[in-house]
Amino acid sequence: MKPAAQVRNENRVVIAHIYAATAAIALGAVFGVFQGLARTSAFGAPAWFDYYRILTMHGVLMALVFTTFFITGLSLFVTYRSIPRERRLTVAWFGWSLMLLGTAMAALTILRGNATVLYTFYAPLKASPWFYIGATLLVLGTWIVAFEIFENVVFFRKTHFGQPIPLVVFCAAATFVMWIVATLGVVAEMGLLIPWAFGWTPGINVMLTRMFFWYFGHPLVYFWIMGAYIIWYNVIPTRYGGNVFSDGLTRLTFVMLILLSTPVGIHHEFMEPGISSTWKMLHTVLTYGVAVPSFITAFAIFASFELAAIKQGRRGFIATVKSLPWNDPPFSGAALGMLLFIIGGFGGLVNASYSMDTVVHNTIWIVGHFHVTVGGPVALTFLGAAYWMIPRLTGRALWKPEWALFQTRLWFFGMLIMSLSMHYAGLLGAPRRTAEVGYLGASVANTWEPYMLLAAAGGFFLFVSILTFVAVAVGTLLQNAKTESMEASFATPAEPAAVTPALLQHVFRWGALAFVLAVLAYAGPLGELLRHPGYLAPGMRTW
């Protein structure tokens, strides 16, 4: 056992990450609900309301800040708890501080109106350099956190020679191995954007920045998904007395995600010139490949449900579903998130198909899609997991657990209403990221209006749900009585467990192979771009 003071200090680092994430989602929700209302002509927006600035803030806070801080906090938590040792926390605090500094720089630049470039910051929209520097520092901070996790993996291997690293730590390390490979793209893009934003370079190759962005942008979503999978595989079975279905299959899923998350980004660039259909096709096929670990996960999670039900003497689909702890907030968050992922997963297959993407690209269908994915399985699992982590970090019982349960259910219905309306309005042609979609009463625009209203209603439910989450998270922190056990346990395979092949243990070597795959998948399209006489766009501020 570790001395209590050591655990307390580790918990402080994790608490700092989780509450930074909480602050981001709270602020992001306020900005989000305004957008939903602004897009309906019934409410409209007051004159002072700067839709695009608020949209930039919402996207950055939710997609980049909330998710990242939660995953860094979660991964540090599972690593610290699974590998008990004396450790200095200087590196961990440094990583957190850098992430927070970067976030503050980027957020203040956006709020001052100097970076209304949305969270994709497509050049040649030219933001203040401090926005790009802030975003870069946020990423570099995550690299420090990754280093902290990897250092613990190396320590474990040295001190437990021949033993596999604990499954949950493997999952966290795999998530950050993938993240390092992926973020090389955005750091390369920042290497072009920062000198250009300062005016040191006269212009920028727009297609090159877009390719670097999407090299990073799609694996970013798998970073979120892997964060949710860490919880689904390792934490959720402990809520119903179940087991990990298979240690080997879980590691295989994460290895596949390391390999296949990155060489897929061009499916975001189907509608762009300058990339031949050969490469668009290759990235389509690989995108279908990355759906495989998600199908494996669907199988493994339900198999774990079923085996737990059989252990209780229940058989059959309905008996299995009934045996699950639906009133337990952490389980409810994850399980309702899984249901939303069914919509998100199939929608993603539509987006990854060139001919179907021509109908939905840059329509609000896409917004519906990523809300039902990052805002479905990912965010809802994270909020549920926060209800599991916070008592274990603070020793305090959850304040109003019935609110927590209500929060997960309200989120599910709010997201269902909002995302399905967005999907449908997108099929009817409603564009994304547009302040008003009336188009002077064009008849096609009138067909969107009821769905914009429904989406706004769903968004309002989500807003209330997030306020409820913040109330429970902060309320728990303010309670005086420390009544809860702070032990955290993770799911293990049922005995007798099959031996996991040694091939699946080498998380860093798979990372190196993933980098090679990514280079192979991008060398061709990058070569095509660079063969053309490069037009360098000077860039401008159009807001």
Partner 1 sequence: MTVPIGSKVTFYVTSADVVHGFFVPGTDLNMMAIPGWVNQETHVFRKAGDYLVICHEYCGIDHQDMFAKIEVRP
Q: Which is nearer to partner 1, 121 or 341 (CB)?
A: 121
Q: Say how far apart CA 261 and CA 48 lie, in whole Å.
A: 41
Q: Which is nearer to partner 1, 156 or 213 (CB)?
A: 213
User: 3: Cβ–Cβ under 8 A, 6 or more apart, which residues?
Assistant: none
H-helix segments, 235-328? 236-239, 247-260, 277-311, 317-322
Per-residue contact flags (x/-) with partner 1 for residues 305 to 344, judged by CB under 8 A: ----------------------------------------
Are 71 and 231 contacting, i.e. CB atoms less than 8 angstroms apart? no
Q: Say how far apart CA 538 and CA 124 lie, in whole Å.
A: 7
Of the candidates 28, 43, 26, the one whose C-alpha atom is nearest the C-alpha of residue 456 is 43
The piece of 296-304, 376-384, 493-501, 530-538 that touches partner 1 (CB under 8 A) is 530-538
Residues 177-236 that bind partner 1 (CB under 8 A): 205-207, 210
Q: Say how far apart CA 230 and CA 378 lie, in whole Å.
A: 11
Regarding 443 and contact with partner 1 (CB under 8 A), the answer is yes
Q: Which is nearer to partner 1, 203 or 401 (CB)?
A: 203
Regarding 455 and contact with partner 1 (CB under 8 A), the answer is no
Q: Say how far apart CA 487 and CA 481 lie, in whole Å.
A: 17
Regarding 540 and contact with partner 1 (CB under 8 A), the answer is yes
* Residue of 296, 428, 464, 471 that binds partner 1 (CB under 8 A): 428
Nearest approach in angstroms of CB 147 to partner 1 is 36
Q: Say how far apart CA 124 and CA 121 lie, in whole Å.
A: 9
Of the candidates 59, 56, 74, the one whose C-alpha atom is nearest the C-alpha of residue 20 is 74
Q: Which is nearer to partner 1, 17 or 126 (CB)?
A: 126
The piece of 96-104, 340-348, 426-434, 460-468 that touches partner 1 (CB under 8 A) is 426-434
* Residue of 188, 291, 435, 517 that binds partner 1 (CB under 8 A): 435
Are 39 and 439 contacting, i.e. CB atoms less than 8 angstroms apart? no
In 193-211, which positions are buried (b, 16+ CB within 10 angstroms) versus exposed (e)?
Answer: bbebbeeeeeebbbbbbbb
Place of tokens 């980098």: 515
Size of the site for partner 1 (CB under 8 A): 45
Q: Which is nearer to partner 1, 148 or 357 (CB)?
A: 357
Per-residue contact flags (x/-) with partner 1 for residues 23 to 52, judged by CB under 8 A: -----------------------------x
Residues 47-76 that bind partner 1 (CB under 8 A): 52
Please name every residue paired with 363 in a beta bridge, in sequence order, or none if there are none.
Answer: 431
Per-residue contact flags (x/-) with partner 1 for residues 113 to 142, judged by CB under 8 A: ---x-x---x-xx-----------------
Per-residue contact flags (x/-) with partner 1 for residues 456 to 475, judged by CB under 8 A: --------------------
Regarding 351 and contact with partner 1 (CB under 8 A), the answer is no
- DSSP, residue by residue, 184-240: HHHHHHHHHHHHHHHTSSS-B-HHHHHHHHHHHHHHHHHHHHHHHHHHHHHTHHHHT
Distances (CA, A) of 454 to 283, 299, 450: 34, 33, 6
Q: Say how far apart CA 264 and CA 284 lie, in whole Å.
A: 7
Regarding 530 and contact with partner 1 (CB under 8 A), the answer is no
Regarding 151 and contact with partner 1 (CB under 8 A), the answer is no
Regarding 442 and contact with partner 1 (CB under 8 A), the answer is yes
* Residue of 432, 466, 510, 521 that binds partner 1 (CB under 8 A): 432
Regarding 444 and contact with partner 1 (CB under 8 A), the answer is yes
Catalytic positions are 218, 222, 369-371, 432-433
Of the candidates 83, 49, 224, the one whose C-alpha atom is nearest the C-alpha of residue 165 is 83
Residues 240-269 that bind partner 1 (CB under 8 A): 269
Regarding 272 and contact with partner 1 (CB under 8 A), the answer is yes
Using CB under 8 A as the criterion, which residues of the chain lie in contact with partner 1 when the complex forms? 52, 116, 118, 122, 124-125, 205-207, 210, 269, 271-274, 355, 357-359, 361-363, 428-437, 439, 442-445, 534-537, 539-540, 542-543
